[in-house]
């Protein structure tokens, strides 16, 4: 595992095709190997009037984190949060509360940070709640529909980044064993949740 090697980890990012979770020592924000290509359908620019996420709270694992808006890096991949304590929402895609799949990723750990915001993501269970508070104060409550699942790092889960269907949320981080040659974890942890309540919507 990477921690045993005293090397930094970074998150899985969203679409999983060609995704990696590694980083070169002393180069924490080079993300070419840390992310993966979102689907073209999710590549539209964010529109005004949407509920832009500000914080993510998961009481079941004791997490409250700032949500950064991330887009694509120069390689066309979903970028990682600039602050490793934050989580990253793919802003060109679906916003929480909109129809389709809003995607948020987070670090497992990072340089000099043994536990990142999604370190305990795999502990979530069916029925656990995830709250996303928007900048305008609206709170979207999502409910986990099944225990998290792991998939190969280069897989392409159906529905990820979809812009259709009922509002849902996907959380993603790294899992499996560290592959030093590929500089990535061998698997990804994915948690899926559906919108079950909205509070304090602004007019």
Which H or E run includes 133?
Answer: strand 129-134
Encoded tokens for 1: 């595992």
Query: What pLDDT, on the 0 to 100 scale, is given for residue 187?
Result: 83
Query: What pLDDT, on the 0 to 100 scale, is given for residue 10?
Result: 39
For residue 93, give every residue at least 6 positions away whose Cβ sits within 8 Å of its Cβ, in sequence order, or none: 38, 42, 43, 100, 101, 102, 103, 161, 163
How far is it, in rounded angstroms, from Cα 80 to Cα 60? Answer: 24
Query: What pLDDT, on the 0 to 100 scale, is given for residue 182?
Result: 77
Query: What pLDDT, on the 0 to 100 scale, is given for residue 38?
Result: 54
For the chain, 203 residues long, give each residue's pLDDT as a single digit of tens.
233 333 333 334 444 332 334 333 223 332 222 334 554 434 334 445 799 999 999 999 999 999 999 987 676 667 778 899 999 999 999 999 999 999 998 988 787 888 999 999 999 999 999 999 999 999 999 999 999 999 887 778 889 889 999 999 999 998 888 788 876 778 889 999 999 999 986 54
- Three-state DSSP class for residue 123: helix
Rg (CA), the chain: 16
Query: What pLDDT, on the 0 to 100 scale, is given for residue 48?
Result: 57
Instruction: Provide the CA 131 distance to its chain's centre, in angstroms.
Output: 14
Q: By C-alpha distance, which of 117, 14, 128 is closest to 56?
A: 117
Query: What pLDDT, on the 0 to 100 scale, is given for residue 90?
Result: 92
If you write DSSP's letter for every residue of 38-107 in order, what string do you get? PPGGG-SPPPTTS--EEEEEEGGGTEEEEEEEE-B-TTSSBPPPSSTTSEEEETTSPPTTSSSEEEEEE-
For residue 125, give every residue at least 6 positions away whose Cβ sits within 8 Å of its Cβ, in sequence order, or none: 60, 144, 147
Query: What pLDDT, on the 0 to 100 scale, is given for residue 201?
Result: 65
């Amino acid at each position: 595992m990477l921690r045993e090697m005293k090397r930094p980890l970074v998150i899985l990012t969203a679409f999983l095709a060609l995704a990696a979770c590694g980083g070169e020592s002393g180069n924490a924000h080079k993300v070419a190997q840390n992310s993966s290509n979102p689907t073209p359908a999710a590549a539209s620019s964010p529109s005004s009037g949407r509920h832009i996420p500000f914080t993510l709270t998961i009481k079941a694992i004791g997490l409250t984190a700032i949500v950064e808006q991330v887009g694509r890096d120069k390689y066309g991949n979903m970028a990682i949060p600039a602050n490793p304590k934050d989580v990253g929402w793919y802003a060109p895609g679906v916003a929480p509360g909109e129809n389709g799949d809003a995607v948020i990723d987070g670090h497992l750990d990072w340089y000099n940070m043994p536990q990142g915001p999604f370190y305990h993501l795999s502990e979530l269970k069916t029925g656990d709640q995830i709250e996303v508070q928007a900048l305008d104060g609206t709170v979207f409550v999502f409910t986990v529909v099944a225990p998290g699942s792991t998939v190969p790092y280069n897989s392409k889960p159906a529905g990820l980044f979809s812009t259709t269907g009922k509002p849902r949320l996907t959380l993603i981080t790294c899992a499996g064993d560290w592959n030093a040659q590929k500089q990535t974890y061998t698997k990804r942890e994915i948690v899926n949740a559906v919108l079950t309540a909205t509070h304090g919507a602004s007019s």
